[in-house]
Amino acid sequence: MSLTNPTALMWLLLAVPVVIFYILKIRLKRVPVSTVIFWRQIFDEKKPRSLWQRLRHLVSLFVQLALLGLLVSALAEPFLASEATHRRRIILVVDNSASMKASDVAPSRLAKAVEEAQGVIQGLRFRDEMAIVSAGTQPRVVCGLTGHQRTLRDALATIPPTDGPGKLKDAIDTARRLVSKDAADGESRVVVLTDGSGDELAKVIAEEDKKPEAERIKLTVIKVGQQTPNVGITRFQVRRSTIDPIGYEVLIEITNHSDEPSGDFRMELTLNDRTADVIPLNLKPGETWAKTTQSTTADGGVLTAKLTTKGEKQSEPLQDALAADNTAVALLPKREKMPVHLHTAAGNLFLQKVLEANALVQLTSSRKDMPKEFAANAIKVFHKDTPAQLPPGNVLVVDPQNDTNLWKLGNKLPTAIVTKQEKDSPYMAHVRLDNVILPDARMMTFTPAAEKPQVLASSLQNEPLITLIERPEGKVLVLTADLDRSELPFRTAFPILVMNTLGVFSGAAGELRESYATGAIADVTLPAGEFVLRSPDGTTRKLPAGPTTTTVGPFDACGVWAVVPPTPNAAPVEEFAVNLMNKAESDLRANPDLPTRANAQDAGLVGGFGGRPIWWYLTIAAFVLAAVEWYLYQRRWIS
């Protein structure tokens, strides 16, 4: 038996005043009385009549000394000799992934894991060392190897809950590097505190079992949580429509991670807190529901999907163990107005109506005289009459009748039939021109200024009918079809082709603002200046000063992240929608084949005798002895 804190034995000196107080007698005060007859009567009745009554005073002294000895021994923290000669090196891996925020164990699984970890720390023996590694979105060493319990407890309290995926394999690899392989006088082990969700930990254990005995680490898993059902959003993305200029498409997927039906609930879709759609659901055990919905609006903002239940007056949030996957957000790009100028000498109703049908187009037009100047940001559309020098910017040319700096016109093609088209081009998306006749299409020879034109549609004789020319000052799309004689304006392909062209020219065709899963990273280009990354809870991380391209993340919380200048109320440079979108984290049911322990004591991680440190028993014995002394005193068995 040895002592961790032998200086605590100095408190035994308190026995000296205890003994003195018991030896000293209280000096009696003389008080004159009228008679001593009654005092003698009392003295005769209370004469010591047995040996026990004479020893009562001495027994009380021994009890007080024993109580003092127990308390001082507990302060000295005794430990067994075997604990001193066989030290332990424990690496504590704490899972703080999204599933550990589940509330099936009050107040949360992570809080329960921290409680178990506190028990392991409290049971550290003399010469034991411990390190703590968090296994959340980005595994890190929270505390290096030390035997100081207060340092370990303070470090444990800094592990935050996250919405990110668990990185148990990386955390265990980090723990492996902390384990000393040359510790011949003791044991080294890695203790994982987790809920056991997903298959990652089971794979790690299986890989560990395949290794040679000399390379293995002693791995102990302490499981927290229960086999809890959960319904969650596992996918949520939004993008602008490739056809409708103000339309958007939403892809949502919801999974019932349960062996029982989910019961009735609803998926509510809102845009900037305005309800856009409500879908009632009831999922079978293990069912995954997925749907693509469409709607229209030119407004942008935050699109939110929430799982709710029907309340008496209004919808109420779905009550299950994990709230992080009951809400998902996406960023819908705003559609800005597009200035378009149409110049047509002869006029064409079909072309004009197609442009006017686009809700985003701000159309101006000219008929006779060619404008000398155009707005810098306007998309120019020329029908028949084309300037010899095409203006800078994006240009759409329909049925050109004169040469330009980019092409020379040739003879007419009486019956040009479309036989080839680039279906993968964004200009030709959803456009089908197979066997469409384009009478009086003009043959074209491109000048060196056109560099490498891309033919998007051609005739049987390989004559270009739709051509894209990439210029440094802007794109040019040429359609050599006579709209007055062709059947093209009567086909849906024509308005779609024009819409695609305007969308690509404006940079908004099928625009997608990807929603990121927690744990992901993203690249962002920063202009000149200082910027910070603001998380959904308002905390910030400093970013490198611009101009530069940097990587932000990993995102460890659900919500909208923003890159902003470090000034109040500054507009964001870039925003990122982040959701859980992880089936392994949403499934709160632990792997039943995972070898786990119920708690730290079952795992043999608490030092001392009988699973608790010796000082704990000494403290209990002191309290018991104090209770016994109080009982004996009340019974007047001791004085």
Q: What is the CATH class of 338-505?
A: alpha beta
Q: Which among 572, 558, 441 is positioned nearest to 162, based on CA atoms?
A: 558
Amino acid present at 147: G
Q: What is the dihedral of CA 293, 298, 302, 307, to 10 degrees?
A: -30
Residues near 185 by beta carbon (within 8 Å), at least 6 away in sequence: 85, 86, 87
Q: Which residues of 505-535 are buried (b: 16+ CB within 10 A; e: fewer)?
A: bbebbebebebbbbbbebebebeeeebbbbb
- HSE (CB half, 13 Å, CA atoms) of 564? 18
The rounded distance, in Å, linking the Cα atoms of 452 and 448 is: 8
**Mean pLDDT for the chain?**
86
Q: Contact, 367 vs 510, CB < 8 A?
A: no
pLDDT in tens, 505-524: 887 655 678 899 999 999 99
Helix axes 168-178, 200-210, angle to 10 degrees: 40
pLDDT of residue 478: 95
What is the helix (H) or strand (E) element at residue 466, kind and residue range? strand 464-471
Q: How far apart are the first and last CA of the chain?
A: 35
Q: Contact, 431 vs 500, CB < 8 A?
A: yes
pLDDT of residue 550: 93
Q: Which among 462, 547, 556, 572 is positioned nearest to 516, based on CA atoms?
A: 556
Residues near 136 by beta carbon (within 8 Å), at least 6 away in sequence: 95, 96, 97, 159, 160, 162, 164, 166, 167, 556
> Helix, strand, or coil here: 539?
coil
pLDDT of residue 134: 95
CATH 3.40.50.880 domain locations along the chain: 338-505
DSSP strand E in 42-98: where? 78-79, 87-94
Q: Which residues of 245-257 are buried (b: 16+ CB within 10 A; e: fewer)?
A: bebbbbebbbbbb
> Helix, strand, or coil here: 612?
strand
CATH 2.60.40.10 domain locations along the chain: 230-335
Peptide bond preceding 547: is omega within 30 degrees of 0, i.e. cis?
yes
pLDDT of residue 346: 80
Query: In the CATH scheme, what architecture does the domain 515-579 have?
Result: Sandwich (2.60)
Name the stretches of the chain with pLDDT < 70: 1, 25-28, 42-57, 80-86, 126, 180-186, 508-511, 596-612, 637-639
CATH 3.40.50.410 domain locations along the chain: 82-228+588-607
Q: What is the CATH class of 82-228+588-607?
A: alpha beta
Q: Left (φ > 0), alpha (ψ -120 to 50) or beta: where does 108 sit?
A: beta
- Using only the alpha carbons of the chain, give its radius of gyration: 41
Q: Which residues of 550-563 are buried (b: 16+ CB within 10 A; e: fewer)?
A: bebbbbbbbbbbbb
Q: Strand pairing partners for 551? A: 523
Q: Contact, 256 vs 262, CB < 8 A?
A: yes
Q: How far is CA 53 from CA 62, 120, 129, 413, 633, in A?
A: 15, 49, 54, 134, 13
Q: Which among 117, 114, 118, 91 is positioned nearest to 173, based on CA atoms?
A: 91
Q: DSSP alpha helices (H): ranges in 491-542?
A: 493-506
> What's the pTM?
0.74
pLDDT of residue 52: 47
Per the listing, tokens 């086999």 go with 227
> DSSP letter string over 427-452?
GGTT---TT-EETTEEEEEE-GGG-S
Query: In the CATH scheme, what architecture does the domain 230-335 have?
Result: Sandwich (2.60)
